[in-house]
Amino acid sequence: MKKFLDNFSVFNLIIIAIVSALGIATKPIIVPLVHIVTGPLFIPGGAIAGGFYMFWIVLGAGMVKKPGTGLLIGLVQSILVVATGTMGTHGIMSLISYTLPGVMVDIVFLISKDNKYNSLHYVFGCMAANITGTLISNMLFFRLPLVTVILMLSAAALSGTLGGLIAYSVSRSLEKILLQQ
């Protein structure tokens, strides 16, 4: 583990810590807001809300530009959730449900030349993370029928697309700000 962490500078680890905390902090705000719209329509709210807090993983991976960043963000998020007891009663299973979406972001971001990411990396990264999180939650906790799962995964893909576009836009804005300094 030490050799793995040696690949990251202190600045990289600070970015990872910040986006991890922001992802956890925004989830309790986003989920109820989404449920206000999705609840009356009987649309699965978690799958739709996911793209709007999974985007923190994608944003962090895009900023740090090192393999394993998504994994670290997911791992830090899972530790935060388990340690604080927030975000449901998933308990130790949070290690799986928060870490695997980060791994999926890493896999998507590996497909690049010289770590030059474009909007598709962010979109497919967030989409993969949200679909993975939705699927894992269903397998671990809900075990819904196949038709419902397909609907949820479709909603997760759409939400992930929107979250990825937001992450790309924020990333570009941050790069412009940093280049001006």
- Range ranked top by mean pLDDT from 8-12, 27-31, 78-82, 176-180: 8-12
Query: Could you give the number of structural domains in the chain?
Result: 1
**Would you tell me the crossing angle of helices 69-84 and 94-110 to the nearest 10 degrees?**
160
* pLDDT for the residue numbered 39: 81
H-type alpha helices, the chain:
2-6, 10-41, 45-64, 69-84, 94-110, 119-137, 146-180
Top mean-pLDDT range of 21-25, 45-49, 52-56, 104-108: 104-108
Residue 109, Cβ density class (10 Å: 0-12 exposed, 13-18 middle, ≥19 buried): buried
Distance CA 128, CA 55 (A): 11
* Domain, as residue range, for 129: 2-180
pLDDT given for residue 87 in this prediction: 60
> The domain that contains 145 carries what CATH number?
1.10.1760
pLDDT tens digits for range 75-120: 999 999 888 876 666 778 888 989 999 999 999 999 988 888 999 9
Cα four-point dihedral sign 45, 46, 51, 53: positive
Query: According to the model, what pLDDT value does residue 99 have?
Result: 95
Tell me what pLDDT residue 112 has: 87
